[in-house]
């Protein structure tokens, strides 16, 4: 069962970076935007809740690759899911199908994990 949790952690981590953003005449995937925030901008912008929350979620998912725990994966998924949900809402309101489709892999992996969470909850490691 630990391998399943590691698989979910890795899938959530990777699919989160596939989310796509498009505004005005610019566009970027989340991994590109995160790189720009970490290495090209001032460090004061890193304490914004929309940046700090997903960053903590990413760290939790990376930690759960090393030491799998269903609660750690769930917390990481929820923290990443907040930003993914905002990207999805942006895509829906703007009518941009590329943004909507880019969030779907993360949403599907999250949905499968939540459905299996009850079964994982009853099993001991």
pLDDT of 25 reads 87
CA quadruple 79, 81, 83, 89: dihedral, nearest 10: -150
pLDDT of 121 reads 66
Q: What tens digit of pLDDT does each residue of 33-78 get? A: 888 887 877 666 666 777 788 989 999 999 999 998 889 999 999 9
**Boundaries of every domain in the chain:** 2-122
Q: What tens digit of pLDDT does each residue of 65-111 get? A: 999 888 999 999 999 999 999 999 999 999 999 999 999 999 999 99
pLDDT of 108 reads 96
Helix (H, G, I), strand (E, B) or coil at 124: coil
Q: How would DSSP label each residue in 4-56? A: HHHHHHHHHHHHHTT-EEEETTEEEEHHHHHHHHHHTS-GGGGGSHHHHHHHH
């Amino acid at each position: 069962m630990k391998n399943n949790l590691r698989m979910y952690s890795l899938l959530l981590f990777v699919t989160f970076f596939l989310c796509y953003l498009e505004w005005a005449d610019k566009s970027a995937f989340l991994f590109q935007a995160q790189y720009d925030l970490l290495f090209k901008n001032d460090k004061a912008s890193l304490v914004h809740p929309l940046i700090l929350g997903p960053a903590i979620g990413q760290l939790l998912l990376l930690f759960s690759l090393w030491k799998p725990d269903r609660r750690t994966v769930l917390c990481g998924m929820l923290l990443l899911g907040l930003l993914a949900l905002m990207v999805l809402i942006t895509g829906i309101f703007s009518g941009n199908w590329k943004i909507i489709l880019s969030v779907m892999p993360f949403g599907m992996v999250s949905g499968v994990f939540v459905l299996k969470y009850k079964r994982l909850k009853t099993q001991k490691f």
